[in-house]
Amino acid sequence: MGTKNIVFIVVFIAAFGFLFYNFKRIISYLKVGEQENRFDHPGVRLKNVLKIALGQSKILRDPVAGSVHVMIFWGFLIFLFAVVEALIQGFYTPFTFEFLGPFYSLITLVQDIFSVLVILAVLYALFRRYIQHVPRLEHGKESRLDATIVLLLILCVVIAMLGENTAQIANNNFNLSKFEVRPLSAFLSHLFYNGPSAGAEFAFEFFWWMHILVVLSFMNFLPYSKHFHVFTSIPNVYFHKIGKNKFALKPLDLEDENAEQFGVADINDLTWKQILDGYTCTECGRCFDACPAAATGKDLSPREIIINIRKRTKEKAPLLAAGVEENEVYEKTLIHNYVKDNELWACTTCGACMQECPVTIEHVDAIVDMRRDLVLMESEFPNELNSVFKNLETNFTPWAFNSQDRANWAEGLNIKTMAEDSNGEYLFWVGCAGSFDARYQKVSKAFATLMQNAGVDFRILGTEEKCNGDTARRLGNEYLAQMMMQENIETLNNYGVKKIVTSCPHCFNSLQHEYPQFGGNFEVIHHSQLLNKLVDEGKIKLKDENLKSKVTYHDSCYLGRYNDIYNEPRAPIKKIKGIELVEMDRNKDKGFCCGAGGGRMFLEETEGTRINENRTKEALATNADIIASACPFCMTMLNDGVKSFDKSEEVEVKDIAEIILENSLIN
């Protein structure tokens, strides 16, 4: 073993020792958080890692920046072979991966190709930051410096690797080993060297050490950088919420007599996964870019919330992990001192941030968890919510309507209630808006008429129905939400309800994904799904007139983004002769919220511009004469938007049930 090997071993032990120390330190911070089981369904989780982390599926939603990242990411993985090879050479100098045979040929060829691609990608990434000034990447000097250091280190790794290979080829008299395929390195070798020489020997040693030192410095810089995601993104993707109910909120155990805290006030109330989210944020700003609240000038940035979780963790977790009992740091909390109340109340829970985040961070859960603290522990919430909570408690609806009037909309329609006869195939869950809102009552009637004429056997609960609990739950009032959910479940189970159809995406989402948490297991479908089926089966017959109408459809977040229902509301409209369905620029999974979700329907919008006007403007730009929706909240927001632009004479907002009814032979 030569001096070089001994020096290398000392450097190697120091570098990995320091990295191990940092991993241990950060894992101890994660342990400060609450327990949560994210170890189930390993197969599904691995599939997600393959698709999202290795396949970079979310990153590629932004094709330009995504392609740059894919090149850097895959280049990184491919260069790992060169790194491992160089590290092993530190212990045993003649080592190569040559024994892998043809696979080695592939690795060496791809390394050469990717070295060019990665250099171009790094230069383009620097261009976007320093010349193009892409808004979502403009996030303070510290963040830019961090990104620049990492990009330059990546550049150094590639240069070192190329330099090492180029010098080695010259030292071997321009002969590559049997399975080595390095066209670029061979070309550069001929360009810079005349053959084996002391200069080439020196260059090899220089670039080899450069390669080793840059890689070891890089990996030890990461725990102190926003690029720690290089280590955490794969685990974070592995542990993210899985299944169809990925937007379902976790229930609080309100029966726990020992519980001293409900919701999240500080980092020790977060789960370990939520703390890991903080350590995984790359500050890429994709969530910020997609956020309707941020886009309309509200004081909310989903990115900032996650970064603040990390900042507060770095401040408080070391003390908690070390068992320190008193410190001035404890006088502050994550909530109020880092995340402001108005940020939390500005969120519509649209889920766009979670949809776009390339490392599957769960912003909405963190936001609602903090709202839970505000409502349940501190009674700190906007004034408007006093009446909402009161109405929910006494009238079982967020509005000041009498619960005994809930079924008035159905008078004269010959619709049976469950109390009268519980033998129907479907329970039509009408929802609060469908029951009380004068405009949406028309939708309930239209949908009921369509079902009756198509021969669907359905019932309603009438005055026994209560608000599904979604509004209270998203507003952080878990106590009220659970009360309503449990009471509804009791009613539904007493009647032996199996199938539910509803025209409200919020009811739909809640009944389908959150009621099972409390023992309510039903087959739930949205009215768009049933209508699409009935049209397909010919049970609803469409007119054969040539209308010449232009319709644009607005995706409800709770139907589209939360439940992947994009085509069913569109399909029957497309089948109506003479209707041209035109899309807004932001549509389907890139759709823009109406501004009403997460209880925002019941809150004043005083900051910035109005979200519904932003969306309506986009809808009006399509020159459609009908804006179609499939959600009562969206309908209200879009109607208000159309009024604010003084376009009510020219443009109508209609539910898909109304459009289908008007264009069916029933009408």
Residue 53 interacts with ligand SF4 (CB under 6 A): yes or no: no
Task: Indicate which single residue of 83, 347, 500, 559 sits in contact with ligand SF4 (rule: CB under 6 A).
Answer: 347
DSSP 332: S
Among 48, 274, 348, 664, binds ligand SF4 (CB under 6 A): 348
284 binds ligand SF4 (CB under 6 A): yes
Nearer to ligand SF4, 366 or 484 (CB): 366
Alpha-carbon torsion angle 230, 235, 239, 243, nearest 10: 80
560 lies in the site for ligand SF4, by CB under 6 A: no
Task: Please identify, using beta-carbon distances, which residue of 109 and 234 lies nearer to ligand SF4.
Answer: 234
Q: Tell whether residue 615 is a contact of ligand SF4 (CB under 6 A).
A: no
φ/ψ of residue 499, rounded to 5:
-120, 135
Q: What residue spans of 349-504 are helical by DSSP H?
A: 352-356, 363-372, 384-395, 431-436, 438-453, 470-474, 478-494
Q: Are 368 and 262 in contact (CB under 8 A)?
A: no
Question: CB 107 → ligand SF4: shortest distance, Å?
Answer: 30
Identify the residue among 52, 160, 186, 350 touching ligand SF4 (CB under 6 A): 350
Q: How far is the CB of 183 from ligand SF4 (least distance, A)?
A: 37
User: What is the spatial distance between Cα 212 and Cα 197, in angstroms, rounded to a whole number?
Assistant: 23
Residue in the structure block whose two tokens are 């007119």: 543
Our finding on whether 282 is near ligand SF4 (CB under 6 A) is yes
Assess 339 for contact with ligand SF4 (CB under 6 A). no
Measured from the CB of residue 305, what is the shortest distance to ligand SF4 in angstroms? 7
Question: How far is the C-alpha of 645 from the C-alpha of 616, rounded, in Å?
Answer: 9
How far is residue 283 CA from its own chain's centroid? 14
Interatomic CA distance for residues 474 and 372, integer angstroms: 9
Asked if residue 359 binds ligand SF4 (CB under 6 A), the reply is yes
We find the least distance from the C-beta atom of residue 285 to ligand SF4, in angstroms, to be 5
Residue 361 touching ligand SF4 (CB under 6 A): yes
When binding is defined by CB under 6 A, the residue of 83, 153, 160, 357 that contacts ligand SF4 is 357
How far is 467 from 488, CA to CA, in rounded Å?
8
CB of 348 to ligand SF4, least distance (A): 4
Element containing residue 245 per DSSP (H, E): none
Residues contacting ligand SF4: total by CB under 6 A: 28
Which pair of structure tokens corresponds to residue 149? 């250091």
CB count in 10 Å sphere of residue 614: 19
Least distance to ligand SF4, CB of residue 49, Å: 16
Report the residue from 68, 107, 216, 306 that binds ligand SF4 according to the rule CB under 6 A. Answer: 306
Q: What is the 3-state secondary structure (H, E, C) of 466-529?
A: CCCCHHHHHCCCHHHHHHHHHHHHHHHHHCCCCEEEECCHHHHHHHHHHHHHHCCCCEEEEHHH
Contacts of residue 217, Cβ cutoff 8 Å, sequence gap at least 6 = 15, 153
90-109 footprint of ligand SF4 as x/- string (CB under 6 A): --------------------
**364 forms part of the interface with ligand SF4 (CB under 6 A):** yes
Report the alpha-carbon distance of residue 306 to residue 274 in Å, rounded: 9
Residue 363 is a binding residue for ligand SF4 (CB under 6 A) = yes
Least separation in angstroms between CB 138 and ligand SF4: 13
Stretch that binds ligand SF4, among 182-190, 279-287, 561-569, 637-645 (CB under 6 A): 279-287
Binding pattern to ligand SF4, positions 568-587, x when CB under 6 A? --------------------
Residues 6+ apart with CB under 8 A from 485: 468, 469, 510, 514, 515, 518, 520
Q: Please state the closest distance from residue 293 (CB atom) to ligand SF4, in A.
A: 4
Which is closer to ligand SF4, CB of 292 or CB of 505? 292
Question: What phi, psi does 345 have (nearest 5°)?
Answer: -75, -15
Does 369 engage in binding with ligand SF4 (CB under 6 A)?
no
- Least Å distance between CB 142 and ligand SF4? 14
Beta carbons of 475 and 398 less than 8 angstroms apart: no
Q: How many CB atoms lie within 10 A of CB 298?
A: 22
171 or 301: CB nearest ligand SF4:
301
Specify the stretch interacting with ligand SF4 by CB under 6 A; choose among 67-75, 142-150, 248-256, 276-284.
Answer: 276-284
Record the tokens describing residue 105, joined without a space.
């040929």
Stretch that binds ligand SF4, among 15-23, 290-298, 488-496, 567-575 (CB under 6 A): 290-298
Q: Does 349 bind ligand SF4 (CB under 6 A)?
A: yes
Q: Does 285 bind ligand SF4 (CB under 6 A)?
A: yes
Distance of closest approach, residue 589 Cβ to ligand SF4, in angstroms: 13
Which residues touch 449 (CB under 8 Å, ≥6 apart)?
A: 413, 661, 666
Q: How far is the CB of 139 from ligand SF4 (least distance, A)?
A: 8
Among 161, 291, 594, 659, binds ligand SF4 (CB under 6 A): 291
Structure tokens at 621: 């730009």
CB of 629 to ligand SF4, least distance (A): 18
* DSSP symbols for 293-316: HHHTT-S--HHHHHHHHHHHHHHH
The one among 292, 398, 424, 431 contacting ligand SF4 by CB under 6 A: 292
- Of 268, 618, 365, 132, nearest to 357 by C-alpha is 365
Place of tokens 């929706």: 629
Measured between alpha carbons, how far is residue 14 from residues 91, 379, 584 in Å? 15, 51, 56
Give the torsion sign (CA, 353, 640, 661, 622). negative
Among 107, 248, 344, 353, binds ligand SF4 (CB under 6 A): 353
Q: Which is nearer to ligand SF4, 470 or 568 (CB)?
A: 470
Helix (H) or strand (E) segment spanning residue 214: helix 198-221
281 binds ligand SF4 (CB under 6 A): yes
Nearer to ligand SF4, 143 or 171 (CB): 143
Judged by the rule CB under 6 A, the positions of this chain that interact with ligand SF4 are 281-287, 290-293, 300, 302-303, 306, 347-353, 356-357, 359, 361, 363-364
